C-alpha cells in the first residue's frame, strides 16, 4: 500500500493498467450486453423482463464493492495520513453513488411489472437506499468544509461508520422476511441461476468492474492535477 502512496508511482502504475482496463471494459460490456439483451433465454417465470437483471445485479454488487474501496481508502487516510488515500476515497464516491442509483432505478423499473410495485420499505431496498445516502453524505462533507484536510477527515469518518451497512445489505434478505428474494449467485450452496444466464451476468459484472478501474484512475488523475494546479497558482501569487 505504502508503495503506491507516491503520486509519481501511482501515475506509472495507472499508465500501465489503463489500456488493459479500457480494452477489458469495451470487450466485456459489448459482449455481455449483447448476450444479455439478444442471446440469452427468457426466464420460466419472468419472461423477457429478466433482462433487467443483467444491469441490476452487477450494479448492486458494484455499489457495495466501491463502498468498500472508499472505506479502505478512508481507513488508510485516517491512520497513515496518505494524501493519495484521501484522493482515492474522493474519486471513488461518485462512481459508487452512480452504481447504487443505477441499482435502485433498474430495481424499481423491474419491481413494477414483476412484484406489482416500484418500491417497498423492506430490509434490502431500504438498506441500499441508506447506502446511496451515505455516498451523498460523504460527497457533501467534502464540499461543506473549506479546508481539504479537515473535509477529508470528516468524510472518511462517515465512510467508515457506514461500513456497518454493508453486511446489513448482504444479509437483509436472510435475517428478515423481505419482498426482495434471497441471493442467486453469491450463496454457499452454489448459484440458483441457469448457466446460460449466469455467463452474460458475469460478463457484465466484469465490464462494470473494468469501467470502475477506468473511471477511478481518471478521477484520481483529475484530482491530483487540480491539486498541482492550485499549488502552482499559490506559488505564482507568492512569487509576485
Partner 1 sequence: MAAGLKTRKKQRLLVVSIGLTSLIGATLLVLFALGGDSLSLFLQPSEIKARGIEQGKHFRLGGLVESGSFFKEDDGLTYHFIVTDCAASQDVQFKGLLPDLFREGQGVVTEGALNANGVFVASTVLAKHDENYAPPGTLPKSEEQCVHPEAAASTYGTASYLVSG
User: How many C-beta atoms surround the C-beta of residue 19 within 10 A?
Assistant: 10
Measure the CA–CA gap between 164 and 141, rounded to whole angstroms. 19
Angle at 93 between CA 2 and CA 28, to 5 degrees: 90
Contact call for residue 206 and partner 1 (CB under 8 A): no
Are the C-beta atoms of residues 58 and 185 closer than 8 Å to each other? no
Contact call for residue 202 and partner 1 (CB under 8 A): no
Contact call for residue 186 and partner 1 (CB under 8 A): no
Among 6, 9, 23, 192, interactor with partner 1 by CB under 8 A: 192
* Contact window for partner 1 (CB under 8 A) among 89-97, 128-136, 164-172, 226-234: 164-172
Measure the CA–CA gap between 29 and 206, rounded to whole angstroms. 8
Are the C-beta atoms of residues 17 and 234 closer than 8 Å to each other? no
User: How many C-beta atoms surround the C-beta of residue 2 within 10 A?
Assistant: 8
Smallest gap from Cβ 161 to partner 1, in A, equals 6
Contact call for residue 25 and partner 1 (CB under 8 A): no
* Contact window for partner 1 (CB under 8 A) among 19-27, 62-70, 193-201, 214-222: 193-201
Contact call for residue 187 and partner 1 (CB under 8 A): yes
Are the C-beta atoms of residues 223 and 230 closer than 8 Å to each other? no
* Contact window for partner 1 (CB under 8 A) among 4-12, 59-67, 174-182, 227-235: 174-182
Binding site for partner 1 (CB under 8 A): 41-46, 50, 53, 75, 78-81, 113-117, 120-123, 160-161, 163-164, 167-168, 175-179, 181-184, 187, 189-198
Amino acid at each position: 500500500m505504502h508503495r503506491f502512496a507516491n503520486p509519481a508511482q501511482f501515475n506509472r502504475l495507472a499508465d500501465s493498467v489503463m489500456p488493459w482496463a479500457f480494452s477489458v471494459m469495451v470487450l466485456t460490456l459489448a459482449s455481455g450486453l449483447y448476450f444479455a439483451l439478444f442471446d440469452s433465454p427468457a426466464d420460466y417465470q419472468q419472461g423477457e423482463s429478466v433482462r433487467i437483471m443483467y444491469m441490476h445485479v452487477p450494479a448492486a454488487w458494484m455499489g457495495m464493492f466501491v463502498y468498500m474501496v472508499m472505506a479502505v481508502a478512508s481507513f488508510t487516510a485516517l491512520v497513515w495520513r496518505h494524501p493519495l488515500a484521501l484522493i482515492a476515497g474522493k474519486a471513488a464516491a461518485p462512481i459508487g453513488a452512480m452504481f447504487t442509483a443505477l441499482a435502485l432505478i433498474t430495481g424499481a423499473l423491474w419491481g413494477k411489472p414483476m412484484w406489482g410495485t416500484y418500491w417497498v420499505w423492506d430490509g434490502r431496498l431500504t438498506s441500499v437506499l441508506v447506502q446511496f445516502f451515505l455516498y451523498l453524505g460523504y460527497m457533501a462533507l467534502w464540499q461543506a468544509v473549506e479546508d481539504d484536510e479537515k473535509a477529508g477527515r470528516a468524510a472518511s469518518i462517515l465512510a467508515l461508520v457506514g461500513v456497518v451497512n454493508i453486511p446489513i445489505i448482504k444479509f437483509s434478505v436472510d435475517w428478515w422476511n423481505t419482498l426482495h428474494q434471497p441471493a442467486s449467485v453469491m450463496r454457499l450452496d452454489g448459484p440458483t441461476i441457469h448457466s446460460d444466464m449466469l455467463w452474460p451476468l458475469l460478463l457484465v459484472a466484469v465490464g462494470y468492474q473494468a469501467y470502475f478501474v477506468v473511471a477511478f484512475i481518471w478521477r484520481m488523475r483529475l484530482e491530483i492535477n487540480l491539486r498541482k494546479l492550485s499549488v502552482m497558482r499559490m506559488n505564482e501569487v507568492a512569487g509576485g
